[in-house]
Amino acid sequence: METTCQKKAMIEQFLFIKKLISIVIFTAIFFTLWPDTIFALNFDHKTLITPQLIDPVIQPEIQIVKGVVKRSDTATSLLKKYLPLKSIYEIDRQSREIFSLTRIRQGQPYRLILQEDTLIRFEYEIDREDKLVVHNKNGTFLINQEPIKYDVELDIITSTISYSLFEAVKKAGEKNELALKLSDIFAWDIDFIRDIQSGDQFKVLVEKRYKDGKLAGYGKILAAFFTNKGTLFKAFLHQPESYQDAPGTSGYYDENGKSLQKAFLKAPLTFSRISSKFTKKRFHPIFKENRPHHGIDYAAPRGTPIKTVGDGTILQAGYNKGRGNYITIRHYNGYITSYYHMCRFAKGMKKNRQVLQGDLIGYVGMTGYATGPHLCFRMKKNGRPVNPLKYKAPSAKPVKSEEMEQFIANTIQLSKRMLTKQTLASLK
């Protein structure tokens, strides 16, 4: 019995040694045949894998092409390198309700985003606020209008005028756009053609818009002070809590909540000079005789934009031998304004069309009886001529009583910042 047990133990020992030798031999052969094998433990599945089984994820190359539309450019010329004509026509067809590709114009920025030389996205800036976006998803085009994103910083800008607002803005290191925005705010109180004089000053709290690290323009002016001929004019932007639902309710007011906006602008041109005033007797340069001149002549370069001074309805838009291309507009309370000698009308100007204060209606020219490019601007009240330079228009409605508390609190805060010229990092 003992001999049998010993034999059984010896056999089990032999089998164990045989298995151990097999494992050693197998391991030696494996590492000899696969010297580069690296074992990695997958902790989720407890399996061993080798690098040869892993395919590296290669990101497709993305290329961004930026440009500005040139005079001869069209949507086809911009896109034909990346899309067939059939696809370009399809994009134009789909985009018409948002923004037709035929309206692409010179000077506007655009971006082409390519993935391995395939166009996946096209962006065109419609204006400074919105852009047209065309997304190519495997040959299907998704088209949207999206807001342009800017980095916005608040800044206080101040300067003293020597001879013009543009000169003062440039002296402060800013763009002409700021001068235009300032003149729009104070257009009802200051005639920037004849009222500006040396020594006038301005201070403005404005949003500066940056794109790709460069100044791209200006956003809202939150507050502005303008000293003209010793008189200080103040403007504060008021955006009531209902502004998001009704954007038209915002506007500029003085520190007492009185609207800066009035029934009529002080002039139909932003910047020019008066070449002839309202008078009962003026020597006519063409007919060589004294005649009444019941209007104001504004000398300006051909093509200068002309704005309507108030809300109204177009009574006439046409051509007359003496007036040239002209427009006559009927306003409230029996007022009528006329604009003569235009080189051309703005798009859509015709009889019975409704226009709003500040709308573009035409461009300065010298059609009709004219010796040089200028605008002859006339105003009548119940059929009688009125001197536009002496007319005092009533103000629009003030801040609503239920919004005055909000307005005053905001005005006090902005005034302190303007007067102390403190750093504006806390405003952001």
What's the pLDDT tens digit per position in 17-64? 656 566 655 555 555 544 444 434 344 444 444 444 445 556 668 899
Asked if domains 62-147 and 273-386 share a fold, the reply is no
For domain 151-261, the question of CATH label 3.10.450.350 is answered with: yes
pLDDT of residue 390: 84
Rounded to two decimals, the pTM is: 0.65
Res. 139 pLDDT band, cuts 50 70 90: confident
- Sign of the dihedral defined by the CA atoms of residues 205, 209, 215, 221, in that order: negative
Going from N- to C-terminal start, the domains of the chain cover 62-147, 151-261, 273-386
Q: Give how far the C-alpha of residue 287 lies from the chain's centroid of Cα atoms, to the nearest Å.
A: 47
pLDDT of residue 37: 43
CA torsion, ordered 342, 345, 351, 356, to nearest 10 deg? -100
Protein fold of 62-147:
Nuclear Transport Factor 2; Chain: A, (3.10.450)
**Options 2.60.120.200, 3.30.499.10, 2.70.70.10, 3.40.50.11900; CATH of 273-386:** 2.70.70.10
pLDDT of residue 24: 55
pLDDT of residue 138: 85
Say whether pLDDT at 338 is over 80.
yes
pLDDT of residue 195: 86
